[in-house]
Structure 1
Amino acid sequence: MSGGADVPAVPSVQVVIDCADPHAQAEFWAAALGYEVEDVEPLARRMLEAGYATGADVMTRGGTLVWRDAAAARDPGGVRPRLYLQRVPEPKTVKNRVHLDLHVGPELVDSEVARLEGLGAVRAGEGRQGPQRWVVMTDPEGNELCVS
């Protein structure tokens, strides 16, 4: 999207998460957020046919052609940011500088934490400031998130 001469372009936003297994992470985050794992097979086939990608760039997962080193989870309503999960060679070693906060309301925090634990998240701690309470968790690869 580009603006006119006096109007700057408004960028869209996606959140990128480095990980070891982008497909498993995309499945976790899709389930956690009510997103869908993005179907990239049509694009991957076009890129292969055009010579922009090779067989080394793709693999089959669950009978579907996917990018070997990346996956994405998308809000089916198109309102919330897309999550792009990319494979990186190094493991996570320190606390994330950016994390997702999942706001469900005080009455649903405990049930949401339990649901996320069922998906593979791990409870890492809890915080409180005045009436605000949050639970710090990690996704299956150790990336932090908070539930409040």
Structure 2
Amino acid sequence: MTSRIAAIALDAVDPRPVADFWCAVLGWQQVDEDADGISIGPPDGAADAAGPTIDVLRVPEGKTVKNRLHLDLRADGSTTAEELARLEALGARRVDVGQGDDVTWVVLADPEGNELCLLQRTVQDVEREEPAG
């Protein structure tokens, strides 16, 4: 027997802007909301519809240290530079978590400072490199 990831929990003092940010980033939608937070997930029929949701949960304190868990993203259908510009236009900002200047990814933060990385290779680059099965 194994487990399956059902949801990824993300803390926020104000869940709405964080949920809206991630919906725009991923092309997802709100699937539930209550006093404790907002759940977002892929639209019905999407290729990743069976995957986990992201639960943006209300917490009383702001972020103070680097996340121990973060999401890595790949551009899909655009260049990495275009996706970086889009993420920044949505409110992501570049952050330094000690990654150095020689890495192949860009470290960003969402509206409440939760880190995420944009990887250099796009979805299409990775698919071209996969051996035919």
Q: TM-score range by the shorter chain?
A: 0.7 to 0.9
- Deviation string for 1:87-139 (max 9, x for gaps)? 0111100000000000127x72211111011111101257545xxx2110000
Distance in 2 of aligned mates of 1:128 and 1:80: 32
Partner of 2:131: none
Distance in 2 of aligned mates of 1:80 and 1:146: 20
Task: Provide the aligned length of Structure 1 versus Structure 2.
Answer: 111
Task: Name the TM-score, length of structure 1 as normaliser.
Answer: 0.67
Partner of 1:75: 42
Equivalent residue for 1:22, pick from 12, 15, 18: 15
Aligned-pair distance for 1:34? 1.0
Q: Give the structure with the larger strand fraction.
A: 1
Partner of 1:94: 65
Runs of at least 4 residues of structure 1 off by over 6 A? none
Q: Give the structure with the larger helix fraction.
A: 1
Kindly report the root-mean-square deviation, in angstroms, between the aligned alpha carbons of the 2 structures.
2.0
Aligned-pair distance for 1:80? 3.2
Partner of 2:107: 136
Q: Rg: which structure is higher?
A: 1
5 Å-filtered alignment, 1:27-106, equals: 27-38=20-31, 40=32, 66-76=33-43, 77=46, 78-104=49-75
| Contact 2:6–2:51 (Cα < 8 Å) also in 1 | no
**Which ranges of structure 2 fall in alignment gaps of 5 or more residues?**
120-133
- Deviation string for 1:28-55 (max 9, x for gaps)? 10100111111x3xxxxxxxxxxxxxxx
Aligned residue identity for 1:68: A
Partner of 1:13: 6
Distance in 2 of aligned mates of 1:128 and 1:15: 29
2:103 corresponds to 1:110: no
**Which ranges of structure 1 fall in alignment gaps of 5 or more residues?**
1-7, 41-65
- Residue identity over aligned pairs, in percent, reads 41
